[in-house]
Structure 1
């Protein structure tokens, strides 16, 4: 099968574990996410996200076709939908699309972006990730998502899982992280001790089998922002995250990684 490429043409599209509407949602595509098409089964296509190589099945009608050259151009996307609740695109037929922060704006030109041949007018100012300052703006960017509910596989403003939250925050600073917590734990530089933590370091937590199952962003050596029930700030120490509502430790600290010196 020849390589084929597509781009997400709706605000958010589920990626499923199997080619069925009943299958588990393993991740999501946001508007402008580019994919390689791996296999086709009637209306279900197996795709690989060009940003993080994550694979899943989706309804092909949520994609627009693009060329390999367009695929590469989106790979280098630097301008995104900003932190905000009114990121509105107007399509050629006048209907509106409401984008989550961090969504791509492919082929942005003169106030318009494109999903394949479809043209969309921006009704907001795009955010340029190349001018964002990690050390200055990391905390406020992460806190923008406070109270977004936890959603397994979620990557959008109305539902995020732990790794989707971390990936989205870092994308706003043009730092590419993998999709799952266990994959993200393989990136970055190791921080030896909790006392050495800087704001923006990323903490990983394991289960009884030693598998990395949770991730969050350190705000200080004793505070972490993470998605668990919702995006929230909790105390952390050498044992892990202490949940005040439950009155106990809920996540056992494994390692801490640094992505920005």
Structure 2
């Protein structure tokens, strides 16, 4: 009898060992389907999970920002493991953050990185006054999500952590938007006084009071200072989002240097440039060129590009893969970030003709409505 039990146990263990890779492979295949349905763009949503064999038991481990993806992952694990596993799957924001799972950018430009270290790739930037959702913490770093959905790691020293009530107070305050490319916030209403902070285009500060040529402002972390009144506008009032005004704003950035992942007037990449320009007119574009290419309405540029209007977005790359974006100035000329912000043309007779860009041009999209 004892020999029979040992043989049965041995057979069971061998069978389980043989099934383990099969279960893991089945789960991995199911995970890809779930990602495709609930988190197709990894820059906007996380969905990472696996099943692990631990001794005689199984565990479901991982994390996601999408509750419906979590439900689908658990259903997949149930179907493969018949509820005989430890559930260690978490839905972000992490419970350990408590109610304070929001933050406001407190420096002129905060860097979003791919991993929680300063040496990691810069993937985006968030400017002062931006509200970020906190997803989890790793040492002095927070995994954050921007208002347009982009996910990246930000050092905590760049942020003022808050709860939803604090965010509401900030958003409902008398906020000002910086409309200058070279402003500073001073400790006194005097441009020879010590600076409190630099200021970048489109960033937001809270108005305390105006003093003629100077306006006293408060930063998200409570610091106060003075900025030239001419450098700020009420945050909720934007210039008209017309083609001409869009291109005027774009021209103001001529010469701004290229920065991979950059998203401010200090330095930007191609889609950071277009995003900043449109944001100045109250239009929030997605972060990446491939994401911006899904917005607006398709435009037939015409054989000579004469049907393009100022403010149309132009997309470059190859079929099925967009790698670059620019802004039409109307007709064959366009402005874009490539090394620096400059103007090129699709017209071979134009001194600004760029044959490589003409060859790589894929299509145009119209973001602005006809009445704009």
TM-score bucket of the superposed structures, by smaller chain: 0.7 to 0.9
Question: Does structure 2 conserve the Cα–Cα contact (< 8 Å) formed by 1:8 and 1:115?
Answer: no
Q: Which residue of 1 aligns with 2:88?
A: none
Show CA shifts across 1:211-244 (max 9, x none): 111101100120010000110000026x9xx975
Range that drifts further, 60-69 or 157-166: 60-69
Secondary structure (helix, strand or coil) at the match of 2:115 reads coil
Where do 1:1-261 residues align within 5 Å?
1=95, 2=98, 4-50=101-147, 52-72=148-168, 79-85=176-182, 87-90=183-186, 95-105=195-205, 107-110=206-209, 111-125=215-229, 126-128=232-234, 130-135=237-242, 136-193=244-301, 194-207=305-318, 210-236=320-346, 248-250=355-357, 252-261=360-369
Larger Rg: 2
The CA distance in 2 between the partners of 1:161 and 1:16, in whole Å, is 15
Report the CA distance shift for 1:75/1:181 in structure 2 as closer, same or farther (over 3 A): farther
1:187 CA drift (Å): 1.2
The CA distance in 2 between the partners of 1:249 and 1:142, in whole Å, is 22
Count the aligned residue pairs. 252
Range that drifts further, 190-199 or 23-32: 190-199
List gaps (5 residues or longer) in structure 1: none
1:167 CA drift (Å): 0.4
1:73 CA drift (Å): 6.0
The CA distance in 1 between the partners of 2:167 and 2:216, in whole Å, is 18
The CA distance in 2 between the partners of 1:114 and 1:78, in whole Å, is 9
Report the CA distance shift for 1:131/1:115 in structure 2 as closer, same or farther (over 3 A): closer
User: Which protein is richer in helix relative to its size?
Assistant: 2
The CA distance in 1 between the partners of 2:268 and 2:332, in whole Å, is 23
How large is the RMSD of aligned CA atoms in angstroms?
Answer: 2.7
1:10 CA drift (Å): 1.0
What's the TM-score, normalizing by structure 2? 0.62
What's the TM-score, normalizing by structure 1? 0.86
Show CA shifts across 1:48-90 (max 9, x none): 112x2211111111111223134356668974111331x2224
User: Which protein is richer in strand relative to its size?
Assistant: 1
List gaps (5 residues or longer) in structure 2: 1-94, 189-193, 210-214
Report the CA distance shift for 1:179/1:41 in structure 2 as closer, same or farther (over 3 A): same
Q: Which residue of 1 aligns with 2:58?
A: none
